[in-house]
Amino acid sequence: MDLDLSAAEPFRVEVRQWLRAHVPATPLPSLETAEGFAAHRAWERELHAARLSVVSWPEEYGGRNATPLEWLVFEEEYYAAGAPGRVSQNGVTLLAPTLFRYGTPEQLARVLPPMASGAEIWAQAWSEPGAGSDLASLRATATRTDGGWLLNGQKTWSSRAAFADRGFGPFRSDPEADRHRGLTYLMFPLDAEGVTRRPIGRLDGKPAFAELFFDDVFVPDQDVVGAPGEGWRVAMTTTGNERGLTLRSPGRFMAAADRLVELWRERGDPADTAMRDRVADVWIRARAYRLKGFETISRTDDIGAESSVNKVFWSELDVALHETALDLLGPDGELAGEWLEGYVFSLAGPIYAGTNEIQRDVIAERVLGLPRAGR
Amino acid sequence: MDLDLSAAEPFRVEVRQWLRAHVPATPLPSLETAEGFAAHRAWERELHAARLSVVSWPEEYGGRNATPLEWLVFEEEYYAAGAPGRVSQNGVTLLAPTLFRYGTPEQLARVLPPMASGAEIWAQAWSEPGAGSDLASLRATATRTDGGWLLNGQKTWSSRAAFADRGFGPFRSDPEADRHRGLTYLMFPLDAEGVTRRPIGRLDGKPAFAELFFDDVFVPDQDVVGAPGEGWRVAMTTTGNERGLTLRSPGRFMAAADRLVELWRERGDPADTAMRDRVADVWIRARAYRLKGFETISRTDDIGAESSVNKVFWSELDVALHETALDLLGPDGELAGEWLEGYVFSLAGPIYAGTNEIQRDVIAERVLGLPRAGR
Amino acid sequence: MRFILDAEQRLFAETLDKLLAEAATAAVAREWAAGGHEPGLALWRSLAGAGVLALAVPESAGGAGPLPVELVTAFHELGRHGVPGPYVETAAAAVMLGRLPESSPATAWLPAIADGTLVASLALPPAVPYALDADVAGLVLSVDGEELRVAGHGEARVSLDPARRLFSVTAGEVITSGAAAAEAYDMGALVCAAQLVGVGRRLLEVSVDHARTRRQFGRPIGEFQAVRHHLADALVGLEYARPLVYGAALSYGTPGFAADVSAAKASAAESAYTAARIALQVHGAIGYTDEYDPSLLIRKARALHTAWGSPAAHRARVMSALV
Amino acid sequence: MRFILDAEQRLFAETLDKLLAEAATAAVAREWAAGGHEPGLALWRSLAGAGVLALAVPESAGGAGPLPVELVTAFHELGRHGVPGPYVETAAAAVMLGRLPESSPATAWLPAIADGTLVASLALPPAVPYALDADVAGLVLSVDGEELRVAGHGEARVSLDPARRLFSVTAGEVITSGAAAAEAYDMGALVCAAQLVGVGRRLLEVSVDHARTRRQFGRPIGEFQAVRHHLADALVGLEYARPLVYGAALSYGTPGFAADVSAAKASAAESAYTAARIALQVHGAIGYTDEYDPSLLIRKARALHTAWGSPAAHRARVMSALV
């Protein structure tokens, strides 16, 4: 057992130097605005030019075959440098892993390079008004037609969809099959004929989502991921992945915790040991998450349902970290700014990608081996 | 709306003066020992002689018809004075309210006076090895016999039963009836032929409970409370009452919170605002419980299931209060003493008289009106 | 001793509840947030007509107060309905002004506050550094220690609660040196606590309704024990914050008032915020979405958590009184 | 980088687990609590035979260490099995003594510690004011700053954990002024953290077993979502305490060691105590009953929570290192 990170040290140095030279001196405008979205897309292009947009991908798609340790190191440096949020995140962390598992060579070659360069930004289109946590009750349909499928119905809370180029998600292709069957996983253009998007605001009013309405939207067969009717299984790969490390890398929380310590140094009352105790607590939790990340990539087995343990931990840590920052800011805590933006973002953590209640059920059943509750 | 306590002021003064003159200067030995049990029984006799053992009862049974406000004031003064724990508590707070509702005049006249004087100390005998929270699954039996009933089977976690005189609880009198039916509520002597008691230790090893084994124990008809077969309903009166204020009067927590503030003053580090914040938090919660008590006795309607709200609150407060004290004591927190004894006692709170999980279910269904969960 | 609302007080609460339910307050708050103050000011006048503002003004100045129990009763309803506007600030200012000698020129504002024609705001640095809705207020005060000044204001700052528009102030001439910031702070914290309990209570109500009707996995989510227990915990917290708020109101004018207010504000802030977090969890993405109404109160609960003194600051004040 | 136990380390843990499972440790602990030390001392010798004590002693003094990773691996198993005795104190003393110059007479105790023939205890006031099991120890030390003394002891005090018998010490002659209390404290806190994670882990294991088999309301209680979620939360806490413990072990000898140990101890204490409270709630009265085994570890988790520095004290030390 060791924690020897020296193998990734040259890479760390390269990344750090590049970031120091390239991270914008003033923060980009919020990526939940048209202007900010464009600025973040340009930043993705810049990262891609340095082969830093998708470091763990194969070189042929724009990556550099980085090891998992190098990927963790990249994330540490990236967030420590205060680099911009990743507008390409939905595609890179949700769709790409699914394609690596189920995609055809043609799909990989066609979809991944523009995803890596930011030329195509992807939006997740999963939830529906009646199906938030309960994906198996999806109702938007994909109907067979000549050479492809026609999409109809509605998706909502579609992250990034207000400004993105393309979307992906499961649609009901066989209305006769029972809940988990008869779904097909599809990719589609957001500017296609028949797609209407209505931006909707998240908790701070920023249009981080959209509602999508589909009216006979044509999708060719080449944009089905996995086999038709296998959409549930394909989607579960994505959620499995989403609950692991990739959605929330340790570097993100360690950087935020370090900034919280900095905030304490600047704005905290040194005599207020109650606040100091809370800062220490979240910093320790961020360190725990970082070390757990090294443990996770050291394992050779599939972490499977244990990814739910990660999801519960990071989402609660993220809320606690930002609550602490707001409380430290006192009357200024409610004012717009970096910490409030982070707080609003953190509040989504315990809800999305499977609520924490569902994650705890998964932990109980699949990690602890408790009997399945009677439904 | 007012908080004018002056109507109870003369009574408060009387109680305070009496307690100042009579509370033992050195604490009595633990009531979970034979010696301490006897000392606490003698103390009950002394309280009774001053008509202070059961202030809210009618005079004919040894009380003084105190108003609910006077009862709250009595409790405040009693615990503020550091007076001994009440060895008669199981009888007074659990059996007596049941008798007031379901008992015959003969039972009231026979049972209550010796209960008030401490001549007869009662033990609750409800739980069984297979039936803790789930009372409806009780299996110890009461079988009809000439002029009474024969008890057989086992009870456990019977509070006070290691040293008490008599016990009470529901027994299964009709094995054919379904779970909630066919129970009969009985009183029985603990020294009767056929009763075997085996003291068992609670978390600190003190024999605060016993296991009871019944082998054809005869109980005459006059010791059935309510109608045979109605034991579930009779028992639910007791638990309803138990979850209200009588089991844990506000005076108890306010006195403990005030002692915690005193401990903070004596042992706390004034620069440790983190600990100060925790002390303040539990003190405020004790004050809230005190004020809620005044609200409760101001109401004329039945608080019904809202008693579950009280149970959850006081039990969590009691644990938090004692955890804070132990943490304040640092390395001495694990050592035997008043605070550790209180901590051990507090840990039973979220478990007994219906676990807090069951209380939350009751709140959800009967206070908030949420649909009953599918069972 | 009768520590529950009497019949008249209950009727007052019900009257306000009905008035506010008919006023479509969520829409009023959204328009207020967007800079459209007319519906909010009309509601201000309606509430003044129902006597709400007069509760903070002494009889000698055309009011009916100060009546702290009735004030917290009213602010509980203002909170439940998410009413926008500087009500807390106006009440705090009125109570403070009402304690000046009648000869003081500053008392001249009181009759207009009582009848709803003068909207006030104030800043009390450091705990209350910004004046809420200063651009709407006809009177903006700044109090520092015993010095009361009329203040100007700068640009609006954006709060998490879009209906809370906060302004830096620039203090002007001293009006009087006889005012006590502590009087305004205590009353502001008290009615803010009542408002918070109302916010939490409404969030619990809408969450229970949602849990009864929203179906996932083939059943109402209110059948899931995790959801049931979350909601039970929200209720427990709020049920014990309320008596602290009324207990503090009843101690107005006694030496224990400041500490009682602090106990109430700390408890109200924690329990309302807990209710908000639970409401968000129970509503899921619906609670996280700007255009659905629960999000308005979820944001307000967080903003008011640190407004008028953080829970930790109020707990410290309780301990100062005890030790 | 391979931040998981290697095959040899896993085998070591499994060997200890097997040895301890066969030793009926709950009965040993009960007898230890009652003053019957023989089975506990026999187990001490077995564990020494398996190399546990030698891990804390340098090779130059007949040991194999210090090997912090192997030490925390061993102490995790000692915790899981609720083994009684001053293992933490002996390990802390051995590591501290091992850092004295070889010429120091105090190093003469080390070979006997390594082979299990000398049981040690120590006090490090103020955080560790009592010496655990001083009456059983052949060597009782007291360290204050740099001064190391041999100590006498008074009567046993009663701890919540009956297998923890604490003694006041009376410090005798100074043996050396070259010892550092900090060295003993850091190592003691580290292995105590490992022990706590083991205690919590076993409490989770037995609670899961209980939830699978205990039936109430006609079904295993593990089907109730409240129970399931409690147990899931216990797991989440423990899963993140473990890497902090191993991370601290790997930083032994670096400047960050003290802060890393503090992060580990704070997290281990909180998560083990949470697991204990959950175990008590899931077991109900069974967990509250002296004669059932879960109560032994429930009590130990609370006692160790503040032993070797409270979580708050350790968090303060983390912040001192950061700011």
The domains of chain A are located at 6-87, 122-235, 244-367
3-state SS, one letter per residue, for C74-134 = HHHHHHHCCCCCCHHHHHHHHHHHHCCCCCCHHHHHHHHHHCCCCCEEEEECCCECCEECC
Closest CB to C289: pick one of A130, A200, A274: A200
Asked if B42 reaches chain C (Cβ–Cβ under 8 Å), the answer is no
The model's confidence at residue A132, banded by pLDDT at 50, 70 and 90, is confident
- Beta carbons within 10 angstroms of residue A332's beta carbon: 17
Q: What is the pLDDT of residues B10-25, one digit of tens each?
A: 999 999 999 999 999 9
| Alpha carbon distance B27, B208 (integer Å) | 18
| Alpha carbon distance C218, B316 (integer Å) | 34
Asked if A4 reaches chain B (Cβ–Cβ under 8 Å), the answer is no
Closest CB to B347: pick one of D216, D226, D280: D280
Query: Could you tell me which residues are beta bridge partners of residue D149?
Result: D142, D174
Q: What is the pLDDT of residue A242?
A: 42
> φ, ψ for residue B374 (rounded to 5)?
-60, 130
| Alpha carbon distance D161, D295 (integer Å) | 9
> φ, ψ for residue A270 (rounded to 5)?
-55, -25
What Å distances lie between residue D226 and A364, D10, D253, CA to CA?
Answer: 11, 34, 44
What Å distances lie between residue A77 and A11, A12, A115, A244, C83, CA to CA?
Answer: 10, 7, 22, 20, 46
Q: What is the mean pLDDT of chain A?
A: 93
Q: What is the pLDDT of residue A239?
A: 55
The model's confidence at residue B47, banded by pLDDT at 50, 70 and 90, is very high
Q: What is the pLDDT of residues B258-290, one digit of tens each?
A: 999 999 999 999 999 999 999 999 999 999 999
What is the residue type of C140?
A: V
What is the residue type of C263?
A: A
Q: What is the pLDDT of residues D203-259, one digit of tens each?
A: 999 999 999 999 988 899 999 999 999 999 999 999 999 999 999 999 999 999 999
Helix (H, G, I), strand (E, B) or coil at B270: coil
Q: What is the pLDDT of residues D280-319, one digit of tens each?
A: 999 999 999 999 999 999 999 999 999 999 999 999 999 9
* C318: its two tokens: 């309780």
**Which chain B residues are within 8 Å of A276, Cβ to Cβ?**
274
CB pairs under 8 A between B and D: 103
What Å distances lie between residue C200 and B126, C279, D183, CA to CA?
Answer: 39, 9, 50
pLDDT at A375 over 50: no
D226–C226 CB contact, under 8 Å: yes
Interface partners of C (3+ CB pairs, < 8 Å)? A, B, D
In angstroms and rounded to an integer, the radius of gyration of the C-alpha atoms of chain A is: 21
Please state whether the peptide bond connecting residue C126 to the residue before it is cis, i.e. omega within 30 degrees of 0: yes
Q: What is the CATH number of domain A244-367?
A: 1.20.140.10
CB pairs under 8 A between A and B: 15
Asked if D154 reaches chain B (Cβ–Cβ under 8 Å), the answer is no
Catalytic residue among A32, A70, A75, A242: A242
**Which chain D residues are within 8 Å of B127, Cβ to Cβ?**
285
Region B362-366: mean pLDDT is 95
C157–A335 CB contact, under 8 Å: yes
Asked if D215 reaches chain C (Cβ–Cβ under 8 Å), the answer is no
D298–B203 CB contact, under 8 Å: yes
Q: Highest mean pLDDT: which of A115-124, B136-145, B244-253, D173-182? A: A115-124
In degrees, to the nearest 5, what angle opens at C-alpha A279 toward C-alphas A275 and A282? 140
B334–D216 CB contact, under 8 Å: no
Q: Are C83 and C102 in contact (CB under 8 A)?
A: no
Q: Are B67 and B55 in contact (CB under 8 A)?
A: no
pLDDT at C149 over 90: yes
Asked if A145 reaches chain B (Cβ–Cβ under 8 Å), the answer is no
| Alpha carbon distance A196, A320 (integer Å) | 37
The model's confidence at residue D180, banded by pLDDT at 50, 70 and 90, is confident
The model's confidence at residue B339, banded by pLDDT at 50, 70 and 90, is very high
How many alpha carbons fall within 13 Å on the CB side of residue B162? 21
CATH class of C183-322: mainly alpha
Instruction: For chain D, positions 227-256, list CB contacts with chain A under 8 A.
Output: 227-229, 231-233, 235-236, 239-241, 243-244, 246-247, 250-251
In our burial notation (b when 16+ CB lie closer than 10 A, e otherwise), range A26-40 reads eebebbbeeebbebb
% chain C with pLDDT above 70: 100
pLDDT at C195 over 60: yes
Q: List the single range of B108-117, B178-187, D36-45, D131-140 with lowest mean pLDDT.
A: B178-187
Asked if B339 reaches chain D (Cβ–Cβ under 8 Å), the answer is no
Q: Are C167 and C241 in contact (CB under 8 A)?
A: no
Pick the CATH number of D7-180 from 3.10.270.10, 1.10.540.10, 1.20.1250.30, 1.20.58.220: 1.10.540.10
Q: What is the pLDDT of residues D57-103, one digit of tens each?
A: 999 999 998 999 999 999 999 999 999 999 999 999 999 999 999 88
The dihedral formed by the CA atoms of D156, D307, D309 and C266, expressed in degrees to the nearest 10 = -110
Q: Give the residue on B whose Cα is nearest the Cα of D156.
A: B335
**Which chain A residues are within 8 Å of C281, Cβ to Cβ?**
350-351, 355-357
Nearest CA of chain C to the CA of D272: how many Å? 23
* C224: its two tokens: 């899931």
| Alpha carbon distance C149, C142 (integer Å) | 5
The model's confidence at residue B136, banded by pLDDT at 50, 70 and 90, is confident
Note the ipTM here: 0.96
C2–B372 CB contact, under 8 Å: no
Interface partners of D (3+ CB pairs, < 8 Å)? A, B, C
B271–A274 CB contact, under 8 Å: no
Q: What is the pLDDT of residues C155-192, one digit of tens each?
A: 999 999 999 999 999 988 888 887 788 999 999 999 99
What Å distances lie between residue A68 and A6, A93, B219, CA to CA?
Answer: 14, 14, 74
Q: What is the pLDDT of residues A255-269, one digit of tens each?
A: 999 999 999 999 999
Please state whether the peptide bond connecting residue D126 to the residue before it is cis, i.e. omega within 30 degrees of 0: yes
Query: Could you tell me which residues are beta bridge partners of residue A335?
Result: C159
Domain ranges for chain C, please list them: 7-180, 183-322
What is the residue type of D286?
A: I
Interface partners of A (3+ CB pairs, < 8 Å)? B, C, D
Q: Give the residue on D whose Cα is nearest the Cα of A308.
A: D236
* D17: its two tokens: 């687990």
Q: What is the pLDDT of residues B198-256, one digit of tens each?
A: 999 999 999 889 999 999 999 999 999 999 999 999 988 765 554 466 668 899 999 99
Q: Are B151 and B186 in contact (CB under 8 A)?
A: yes
pLDDT at B360 over 80: yes
Helix (H, G, I), strand (E, B) or coil at A214: strand
The better pLDDT of the pair C147, D19 is held by D19
Q: What is the pLDDT of residue A372?
A: 83
Q: What is the pLDDT of residues A21-51, one digit of tens each?
A: 999 999 999 888 899 999 999 999 999 999 9
Report the first-to-last Cα separation within chain B, whole angstroms.
43
| Alpha carbon distance B8, A1 (integer Å) | 70
Residue A242 is a catalytic residue: yes
Interface test with C, best of A134, A135, A203 (most C CBs within 10 A): A203
pLDDT at A374 over 60: no
Residues with Cβ within 8 Å of residue B255, at least 6 apart in sequence: B76, B79, B80, B82
% chain B with pLDDT above 70: 97
Nearest CA of chain A to the CA of D114: how many Å? 23
Nearest CA of chain C to the CA of A161: how many Å? 15
Q: What is the pLDDT of residue A244?
A: 60
C281–A350 CB contact, under 8 Å: yes
What is the residue type of D112?
A: A
Asked if A280 reaches chain D (Cβ–Cβ under 8 Å), the answer is yes
Q: What is the mean pLDDT of chain D?
A: 96
Q: What is the pLDDT of residues A215-254, one digit of tens each?
A: 999 999 999 999 999 999 998 876 555 446 666 889 999 9
Q: Which of A298, A51, B109, C240 is nearest to D5 (CA)?
A: A298
Q: Are A314 and C247 in contact (CB under 8 A)?
A: no
> φ, ψ for residue D147 (rounded to 5)?
-95, 120
Asked if D225 reaches chain C (Cβ–Cβ under 8 Å), the answer is yes
Asked if B373 reaches chain A (Cβ–Cβ under 8 Å), the answer is no
| Alpha carbon distance B111, A36 (integer Å) | 80
The conformational region for residue B164 under phi > 0 = left, psi -120 to 50 = alpha, else beta, is beta
> φ, ψ for residue A197 (rounded to 5)?
-115, 135
- Beta carbons within 10 angstroms of residue A107's beta carbon: 16
**Which chain C residues are within 8 Å of D229, Cβ to Cβ?**
226
| Alpha carbon distance B169, B153 (integer Å) | 13
State the angle between helix axes of D294-306 and D181-213 in degrees (0 to 180), rounded to the nearest 10: 150
**Which chain C residues are within 8 Å of B69, Cβ to Cβ?**
1
- The pairing of strands B122-124 and B166-172 is parallel
What is the residue type of B218?
A: F
Q: What is the pTM of this model?
A: 0.96
| Alpha carbon distance A22, A271 (integer Å) | 39
Q: Are B181 and B174 in contact (CB under 8 A)?
A: yes
Q: Are A216 and A205 in contact (CB under 8 A)?
A: no
Say which residue the tokens 């039916």 belong to: B181
**Which chain C residues are within 8 Å of D233, Cβ to Cβ?**
none
**Which chain A residues are within 8 Å of D243, Cβ to Cβ?**
288, 291-292, 294-295
What is the torsional sign of CA A176, A179, A180, A185?
positive
Region A317-328: mean pLDDT is 98
Q: What is the pLDDT of residue B243?
A: 45
Interface test with C, best of B9, B133, B262, B287 (most C CBs within 10 A): B287
The model's confidence at residue B374, banded by pLDDT at 50, 70 and 90, is low
Q: List the single range of A176-180, B238-242, C50-54 with lowest mean pLDDT.
A: B238-242
Q: Give the residue on C whose Cα is nearest the Cα of B290.
A: C243
Region C3-22: mean pLDDT is 98
Interface partners of B (3+ CB pairs, < 8 Å)? A, C, D
D226–C224 CB contact, under 8 Å: no
DSSP string, B10-69: HHHHHHHHHHHHHS-SSPPPPTTSHHHHHHHHHHHHHHHHTT-SSTTS-GGGT-----HH
pLDDT at D271 over 70: yes
How many alpha carbons fall within 13 Å on the CB side of residue A199? 13
Q: What is the pLDDT of residue A354?
A: 87
What is the residue type of B244?
A: G
* Helix, strand, coil share of chain D (percent; to 5): 60, 15, 25
Q: What is the CATH number of domain B122-235?
A: 2.40.110.10
Interface test with C, best of B248, B303, B368, B372 (most C CBs within 10 A): B368
Asked if C167 reaches chain A (Cβ–Cβ under 8 Å), the answer is no
pLDDT at A94 over 50: yes
Q: What is the pLDDT of residues C209-224, one digit of tens each?
A: 999 999 988 899 999 9
D288–B350 CB contact, under 8 Å: no
Catalytic residue among B242, B306, B334, B357: B242
